[in-house]
Amino acid sequence: MNKIVASPEQAVADIPDGATVAIAGFGVAHRFATSLICALRDQGTKDLTLVCNSLGDAGATRGQILAENNQVKKLIAAFSVRPGTPTASEEQIAAGKMEVELVPQGILVERCRAGGAGIPAFYSPTGVDTDLATGREIREFDGKPHVLEHAIHVDYALLRGYRADRLGNVQFRGGSQNFNPSFAKAARVAIVEVDEIVEPGVIPPELIDLPGIFVSRVVKTTQVVDGKAWRRPARRPADQAAPLRRQAGADARGDREERGPARQGRHLREPRRRHPHDGVELPRGPRRDPARRERRPRLRPDGDGGERDRSGHLQRRRPVRGAERPARRSSTASRRSRWRAAAGSTP
């Protein structure tokens, strides 16, 4: 069984108009199936439904280039637009040319995983009391409301891996394991773009992140994208965001006036520092002047001939000059003395 395809163009040649395509990846462009996405753009397939984390910035080799080519009809994603950066998808969404379904990021992955596992739907507390839960079925479990989430099934999935063999076994690297496995299992045809193709058995079994049973085609990448060389495009002018900032500032001031001066003093405290482990902000303690700090010794002498630490615990005793040391008695002699004392005190 050989799942190797000669070129990216051949790998996406059968994707028809109106297909549902999942594009896996997160972060910069080098974690996306750039060769497959460019081949799909050059093919000109129309009315696509894209399932992805986001379309990305303008000019990035991601799903955004399909939107710039007017090939996207519906978008199912966790992020529809990029803050501060104008994109073609934003203009199409505002004009009503592109339909959008926003899904929380974790729920997006779980819905795809459920589709691959044969689970038609599941309940989740994520999204309760938000606009995302409007018109959705809500049930209570253990006294908490949960929103019904339906599984996602896609026709094709464009994935990106580190290397694969001709049987379709794929190894991912780093953050590439976030969306790729779930998107592959939810797809009818999973197409993986890799940097290296090896023979079966070269990849150790414990390093195979996606078994070949979930992969339909494997193609070697033809476009190497340098993520460090990529630069974010120009952002919107500051004057477009100024009215929003002024309105937000006015709302914040009005909120502080309603809460009263007792709570306003909380905002005058010293800046807060972030805990390195759990991200919780902890208040700063009083700052000390380094010039006035006195370095105390680890042990300090005590009046009873010993030394104590900072907590006051006795560490060791120092012999006093001129004093005779008490004679040490063996443990056997000590036991005999106790026996004799006990025998003498017995009536």
What would the pLDDT profile of 90-130 be if each residue is shown by its tens digit? 899 999 999 999 999 999 999 999 999 999 999 999 989 99
List Cβ neighbours of 110 (8 Å cut-off, separation of 6 or more).
122, 124, 149, 182
What does the domain layout of the chain look like in residue ranges?
A: 8-120+152-220
List Cβ neighbours of 276 (8 Å cut-off, separation of 6 or more).
none
Q: What is the structure's pLDDT at 274? A: 44
Q: What is the structure's pLDDT at 271? A: 47
Q: What is the structure's pLDDT at 283? A: 47
Q: What is the structure's pLDDT at 81? A: 73
Tokens representing 311 are 């907590």
For residues 332 and 234, give the distance between their C-alpha atoms in angstroms, rounded to a whole number. 89
User: What is the phi-psi region of residue 99: left when phi exceeds 0, alpha when psi lies from -120 to 50, beta otherwise?
Assistant: beta
Q: pTM value?
A: 0.66
Instruction: Give Rg (Cα) of the chain.
Output: 34
Q: What is the structure's pLDDT at 286? A: 52
For residues 289 and 119, give the distance between their C-alpha atoms in angstroms, rounded to a whole number. 62
Split the chain (347 residues) into runs of 10 and give each run's mean pLDDT.
Answer: 94 96 80 93 96 86 91 93 79 93 94 96 94 92 96 97 96 89 96 96 95 96 73 61 56 56 47 44 51 52 54 57 57 67 61
Tokens representing 194 are 């890799």
How far CA 93 is from CA of 44, 97, 319, in Å, comes to 20, 6, 87
Q: What is the structure's pLDDT at 48? A: 97
Q: DSSP character for 33?
A: -
Contact 35, 170 (CB under 8 A): no
What is the CATH topology of the domain spanning 8-120+152-220? Glutaconate Coenzyme A-transferase (3.40.1080)
Cβ burial of 122 (10 Å; 0-12, 13-18, 19+) is middle
DSSP reduced 3-state for 157: strand
Q: What is the structure's pLDDT at 330? A: 56
